[in-house]
């Protein structure tokens, strides 16, 4: 199904999509997307959406299963509390990508804003992942409880100058792991965290994500793998275990 979204109010657009999905439609091409919010929110199942333009806030929130490709940039809240599925963004994305995300993958070729991957979770073999080709703002992976974040710092807008990660990376993290290509200074990390060099075992863990990242954006995997990776993992699963007087 192809929709020219020009001038369509978000509520009408999303209703159209929901009704089409309920009627069995599985493939969407949305053109002239210009800031419409909540696209793909709460949609379940094997649905594929190609978005041309710039979708608005909270795209794919609570989404369970669909695959969304954004040919362009995305705004804040991509994949908010997302359950499953795959999001690919050829440009950049705003703040709080993947907040509370519990499954699925998000691939962003360019930079992302602040507070990305906050409180991502994992349960058994349901492990969410975010791969960021560019750089990230402060508080990446704050409160992280599970999942994988990979920050490459390679394909964003400002390649020179500031480091790949922002400050307070992984503050309060108590699960999961963050990988930063090219390393990260300890003073930029949340309290108690230390960057470690990624082991061959770690590289084996992240390779499938990097491979898919390269596949979707037509990039060279070796060009990414030939850099060094730092891993930031939680110091404890109980960050506040000793805080209280009983």
Partner 1 sequence: MLYYDQNKNYRDFEVLRDENKCIQCQVCVRQCSYEVHTYDEKHDEVTADQTKCVGCHRCEAFCPTDALKIRKNQSEFRDNALWTPQYLKNIYKQADTGGVLLTGMGNSYPYPVYWDKMLLDASQVTNPSIDPLREPMELRTYLGAKPDAVEVHGGNGHPRLDTSFAPQIPIEYPILFSAMSYGSINLNIHVGLARAAEEMGTLYNTGEGGLHPTLYQYGKNTIVQCASGRFGVHTDYLNAGVAVEIKIGQGAKPGIGGHLPGEKIGPEISLTRMIPEGTDALSPAPHHDIYSIEDLRQLIYALKEATDYKKLVFVKIAAVHNSAAIASGMVRAGADVISLDGFRGGTGAAPTMIRDNVGVPIELALASVDERLRQEGIRNRASLVVAGGIRCSADVVKAIALGADAVYIATAALIAVGCTVCQRCYTGKCPWGIATNDPYLAKRINPEIAHEKLANLIRGWGHEIQEMLGGMGLNALESLRGNREKLRGVGLNETELNILGIKHAGA
Asked if residue 44 binds partner 1 (CB under 8 A), the reply is yes
The answer to whether 80 and 96 are in contact (CB under 8 A) is: yes
SS3 215: helix
Structure tokens at 161: 């100058």
Asked if residue 93 binds partner 1 (CB under 8 A), the reply is no
Structure tokens at 77: 């809240």
Asked if residue 58 binds partner 1 (CB under 8 A), the reply is yes
Backbone angles phi, psi at 187, to 5 degrees: -70, -15
CA distance 229 to 199: 9
Which of 88, 43, 82, 50 has the alpha carbon at shortest distance from 66?
Answer: 43
Q: How far is the CB of 231 from partner 1 (least distance, A)?
A: 18
Q: Which stretch binds partner 1 (CB under 8 A): 36-44, 153-161, 185-193, 205-213?
A: 36-44
Q: For residues 23-49, b (16+ Cβ closer than 10 Å) or e, as one string?
A: eeeeebebeebeebbbbbbebeeebeb
Q: Which residues pair with 151 in a beta bridge?
A: 132, 180
* Binding-site member from 8, 14, 107, 189 for partner 1 (CB under 8 A): 14
* Binding-site member from 33, 66, 69, 142 for partner 1 (CB under 8 A): 142
* Binding-site member from 62, 163, 167, 182 for partner 1 (CB under 8 A): 62
Q: Which stretch binds partner 1 (CB under 8 A): 114-122, 153-161, 203-211, 220-228?
A: 114-122
Asked if residue 41 binds partner 1 (CB under 8 A), the reply is yes
Interface residue list for partner 1 (CB under 8 A): 11, 14, 18, 37-38, 41-42, 44, 57-58, 61-62, 64, 76-77, 80-81, 83, 96, 99-100, 102, 115, 118-119, 121-123, 126, 142-143, 145-146, 172, 174-175, 237-246
């Amino acid at each position: 199904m192809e929709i020219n979204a020009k001038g369509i109010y978000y509520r009408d657009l999303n209703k159209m999509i929901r009704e089409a999905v309920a009627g069995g439609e599985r493939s969407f091409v949305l053109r002239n997307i210009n800031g419409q919010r909540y696209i793909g929110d709460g949609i379940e199942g094997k649905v594929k959406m190609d978005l041309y333009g710039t979708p608005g806030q909270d795209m794919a929130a609570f989404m369970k299963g669909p695959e969304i490709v954004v040919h362009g940039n995305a705004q804040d809240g991509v994949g908010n509390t997302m359950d499953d599925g795959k999001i690919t963004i050829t440009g950049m994305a705003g703040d709080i990508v993947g907040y509370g995300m519990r499954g699925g993958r998000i691939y962003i070729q360019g930079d992302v804003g602040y507070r990305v991957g906050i409180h991502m979770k994992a349960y058994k073999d349901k492990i969410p992942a975010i791969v960021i080709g560019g750089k990230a703002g402060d508080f990446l992976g704050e409160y992280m409880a599970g999942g994988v974040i990979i920050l490459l710092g390679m394909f964003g807008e400002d390649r020179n100058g500031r480091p790949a990660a922002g400050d307070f990376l992984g503050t309060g993290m108590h699960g999961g792991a963050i990988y930063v290509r090219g390393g990260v200074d300890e003073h930029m990390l949340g309290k108690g965290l230390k960057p470690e060099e990624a082991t061959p075992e770690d590289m084996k863990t992240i390779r499938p994500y990097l491979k898919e990242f390269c596949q979707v954006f037509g990039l060279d995997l070796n060009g990414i793998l030939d850099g060094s990776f730092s891993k930031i993992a939680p110091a404890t699963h109980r960050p506040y275990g000793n805080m209280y007087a009983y």
